[in-house]
């Protein structure tokens, strides 16, 4: 187990490095818009631009620039650890803003994830138990609807209905929890629901499919033959193996959502990581883009690792090699 975790951690580091190199390459080939030009002020002279280029490290070659990024990341810089430099666009340090924005994105993701698990798993279980009945078909039909609906459109529609027409909600934007917990909740409830509906639908379908696979296994027949109560068979013998793969998927989705909230944050006007990335990409703001990419890639890999280890603990059939 220990050896497995170490190997997976090394793999994580490799993936994060790879993601950062890819990001670097993508934005290096970007032709338009010289960041140094913007940095040189309103009336740029040749010297000022050259000076800005030196300050930003843009005079160095591509490998040298990447090496600089990497050594800062590992060694830290004047803004703390990990060193992420400062934005080419706003000239603010990346790290403090990254932490601020992580709170926003984190609030959206954690709440949404809780909701989709609480909705998705029971719906899947009910569908599987009442297979081929009215309930099953109805629930699965609703699931297919939410899987097919574009998230940004549902978000706009819900804003139109619950904010503009009914006036139940205070509107878009984000209010920090520490400032006003009630407002924090009121602003987040709609993003949570929108995220939760899509994923709850996906998970309900998966849980149902897994449950149906498990039910036909021999050991389930054995469990019934032993005379166990239906409750015990369902909870212990059917649900546990059916949920195991869901946990693995949950971790991956949770990590991927950090990038996936771009759309949600855009519609609900929240200053999170996804929204930041979109702005940074449009402004050719390399340090910010790199920071978000690295954080997201690391989150995906680490959560996947945790899921794999959890999976091995829950499901004895899975052996870590």
Partner 1 sequence: MLFIILLVVVAIFAPVLASLIGHGPNELFNRTMLDDFGLPLGPNSEFWFGADASGRDVLVRMIYGTRVSLAVGLLATLFAVGLGVALGLVAGYLGGIVDTVLSRIAEIILSLPILLFAIGIVTACGASKEGCARGAIKPGLMLVVLISAFFTWPWMFRIVRGVVLQLREREFVDAARAIGAGPTSIMFREILPNLISPIIVYASLMIPQAVLFEAYLSFLGLGVPDTTPSWGRMIADGSQIYDVAWWLMLFPGIILLLTVLAFNLLGDGLRDALDPKSDR
Note the residues at the interface with partner 1 (CB under 8 A): 15, 18-19, 22-23, 26-27, 29-33, 144-145, 147-150, 152-153, 156-157, 159-160, 164, 209, 212, 255-256, 258-260, 262-263, 266-267, 277-278, 281-282, 284, 289, 292-293, 296-297, 300-301, 304
Closest to partner 1 by CB, 48 or 215: 215
- Is the backbone peptide bond immediately before 298 cis, with ω within 30 degrees of 0? no
CB 152 within 8 A of CB 267: yes
Q: How far apart are CA 247 and CA 314, in angstroms?
A: 10
Instruction: Report helix angle 94-129 to 181-215, nearest 10.
Output: 40
DSSP code per residue over 121-188: HHHHHHHHHTTTSHHHHHHHHHHHHHHHS-HHHHHHHHIIIIIIIS--S--SS---TTT-HHHHHHHH
> At its nearest, how many Å lie between partner 1 and the CB of residue 124?
13
> At its nearest, how many Å lie between partner 1 and the CB of residue 106?
16
Closest to partner 1 by CB, 51 or 284: 284
Closest to partner 1 by CB, 51 or 283: 283
Q: How far apart are CA 312 and CA 81, in angstroms?
A: 33
Closest to partner 1 by CB, 228 or 249: 249
Strands (E), 122-253: none
Closest to partner 1 by CB, 228 or 278: 278
> At its nearest, how many Å lie between partner 1 and the CB of residue 152?
5
> At its nearest, how many Å lie between partner 1 and the CB of residue 131?
8
Instruction: Report helix angle 286-314 to 239-268, nearest 10.
Output: 160
> At its nearest, how many Å lie between partner 1 and the CB of residue 177?
26
> At its nearest, how many Å lie between partner 1 and the CB of residue 237?
20
Q: How far apart are CA 25 and CA 67, in angstroms?
A: 13
Task: Name residue 93's beta-bridge partners.
Answer: 86
CB 207 within 8 A of CB 242: yes
């Amino acid at each position: 187990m220990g050896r497995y975790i170490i190997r997976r951690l090394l793999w994580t580091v490799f993936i994060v490095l790879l993601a950062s190199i890819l990001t670097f390459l993508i934005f290096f080939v970007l032709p338009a818009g010289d960041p140094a030009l913007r940095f040189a002020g309103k009336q740029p002279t040749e010297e000022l631009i050259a000076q800005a280029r030196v300050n930003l490290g843009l005079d160095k070659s591509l490998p040298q620039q990447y090496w600089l990024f990497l050594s800062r990341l590992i060694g830290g810089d004047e803004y703390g650890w990990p060193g992420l430099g400062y934005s080419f666009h706003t000239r603010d340090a990346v790290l403090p803003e990254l932490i601020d924005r992580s709170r926003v994105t984190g609030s959206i993701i954690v709440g949404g994830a809780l909701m989709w698990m609480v909705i998705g798993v029971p719906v899947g279980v009910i569908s599987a138990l009442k297979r081929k009945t009215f309930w099953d078909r109805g629930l699965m039909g609703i699931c297919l609807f939410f899987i097919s609906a574009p998230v940004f459109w549902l978000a706009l529609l819900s804003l139109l209905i619950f904010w503009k027409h009914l006036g139940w909600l205070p509107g878009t934007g984000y209010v920090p929890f520490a400032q006003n917990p009630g407002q924090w909740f009121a602003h987040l409830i709609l993003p949570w629901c929108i995220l939760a509906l899509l994923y709850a639908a996906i998970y309900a379908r998966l849980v149902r499919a897994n449950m149906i696979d498990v039910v036909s296994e021999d050991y389930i027949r054995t469990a019934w033959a032993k005379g166990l109560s239906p409750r015990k068979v369902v909870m212990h013998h059917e649900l546990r193996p059916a949920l195991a793969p869901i946990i693995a998927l949950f971790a991956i989705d949770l990590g991927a959502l950090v990038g996936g909230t771009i759309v949600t944050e855009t519609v609900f006007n929240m200053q999170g990581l996804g929204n930041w990335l979109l702005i940074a990409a449009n402004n050719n703001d390399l340090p910010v883009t790199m920071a978000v990419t690295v954080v997201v890639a690391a989150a995906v890999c680490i959560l996947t690792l945790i899921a794999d280890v959890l999976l091995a603990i829950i499901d004895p059939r899975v052996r870590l090699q």
